[in-house]
Amino acid sequence: MTTPRPLAVVTGASSGIGYELAKLCAEHGYDLAIAADEASIVEAKQAFEGLGAQVRALQTDLSTEDGVQDLLDLIGDEPVEILCANAGHGLGHGFLDQDWKAARHVVDTNITGTLFLVHNIAGGMRSRDRGRILFTGSIAGLMPGTFQAVYNGTKAFVDSFSFALRNELKDTQVTVTCLMPGPVDTEFFERADLMDTKVGQDKKSDPAKVAKTGFEAMMKGEGDVVAGLKNKIQAAIAAVTPQTQLAEMHRGMAEPGSGKQ
């Protein structure tokens, strides 16, 4: 008889940072419950099974309570050892030029769906007095996101919430870590229609390296980690720069047409 492997739940595991986080979990001896909103989650499942993990995969929209509930049902009563609350997406253009439903989807995915999932899973962790939670926040949460205003606001929420929950759980063995990347080379910018912007076209971090940084910080139980030296400097600058100036700086990065072509 083989000893059962602990369970890691990773949202947004079909691509980018979430894919790499799920891969790391599989490589470190965890079974997986993974979710994303497109059919490519099935290909990710097969890849992680190839690493020896038992994998349950679900295609579901995590912006809705029903969609999150489907993931909770998939997990059932099984204790969750690791939760990587990673699913999220951005949305470029000026707020007033965005489609309202698309803007709301950013909030519902990045904030509401994430909170509903964590509220359910972290309760079990607290009762068992063990578990690790990793939020994928962002250094975008440290600055007003002109031409990506809703997204940056959601990441400010996630960054802030992660620290607060960590403090609320400080007398338990449940750790909460916030991974705060800068721009990462994933499908994020294409999906957010930011490819004609400076930030969309600039060089970006490798998602595998970013995920490794977050995974290691989570395993050490650290509070937060900014991935990459350049981003650490940017985060330090953001902490001492007036918000109006940060908002203007963000315009230079995210204004439609600010890229080279």
Ligand X SMILES: NC(=O)c1ccc[n+]([C@@H]2O[C@H](COP(=O)([O-])OP(=O)(O)OC[C@H]3O[C@@H](n4cnc5c(N)ncnc54)[C@H](OP(=O)(O)O)[C@@H]3O)[C@@H](O)[C@H]2O)c1
- Contact map string, positions 46 to 65, toward ligand X, x by CB under 6 A: ---------------xxx--
One residue of 98, 136, 162, 234 binding ligand X per CB under 6 A: 136
Select 127 or 160, whichever has its Cβ closest to ligand X.
Answer: 160
Q: 10 Å Cβ neighbour count for 5?
A: 17
- State in angstroms the smallest separation of the CB of 16 from ligand X: 2
Ranked by CB distance to ligand X, the top (closest) residue is 16
Q: Give least dist CB 201 to ligand X, A.
A: 13
Interatomic CA distance for residues 219 and 45, integer angstroms: 23
How many of the chain's residues bind ligand X (CB under 6 A)? 30
Any catalytic annotation for residue 19? Answer: no
DSSP state of 139: G
Count other Cβ atoms within 10 Å, centred on residue 18: 27
Active site residue 155: yes
Nearer to ligand X, 17 or 246 (CB): 17
Question: Given the structure tokens 């349950």, which residue do they identify?
Answer: 56
23, 45, 155, 204: the catalytic one is: 155
How far apart are alpha carbons 11 and 13 in whole angstroms?
Answer: 5
Which secondary-structure segment (H or E) carries 39?
A: none
E strands, the chain, where? Answer: 7-11, 31-36, 55-59, 80-85, 131-136, 174-180, 224-226
HSE at residue 108, side-chain half, CA atoms within 13 A, is 14
Residues 151, 144: Cα–Cα separation, whole Å:
9
Residue 2 or 225: the one with the smaller Cβ distance to ligand X is 225
Pick the closer one to ligand X by CB: 191 or 251: 191
Rounded to whole angstroms, the Cα distance separating 118 from 123 reads: 8
Hey, what amino acid is at 128?
R
Please identify which of the residues 30, 151, 170, 212 carries the catalytic annotation: 151
Residues in the chain: 261
Match 């068992």 to its residue by tokens: 128
Q: Is 88 one of the binding residues for ligand X (CB under 6 A)?
A: yes
Site string for ligand X, 167-206 (x = CB under 6 A): --------------x-xx-xxx--x---------------
- Per CB under 6 A, the list member of 8, 98, 138, 213 interacting with ligand X is 138
Beta carbon of residue 76, minimum distance to ligand X (angstroms, whole number): 20
Taking CB under 6 A as the rule, does residue 17 contact ligand X? yes
Shortest Å, Cβ 67 to ligand X: 6
**Helices and strands (H and E) in the chain: how many:** 11, 7
Provide, rounded to whole angstroms, the least separation between the CB of residue 32 and ligand X. Answer: 13
> Which residues are at the interface with ligand X (CB under 6 A)?
12, 14-18, 35-38, 40-41, 61-63, 86-89, 109, 136, 138, 181, 183-184, 186-188, 191, 207
Residues with catalytic function: 151, 155
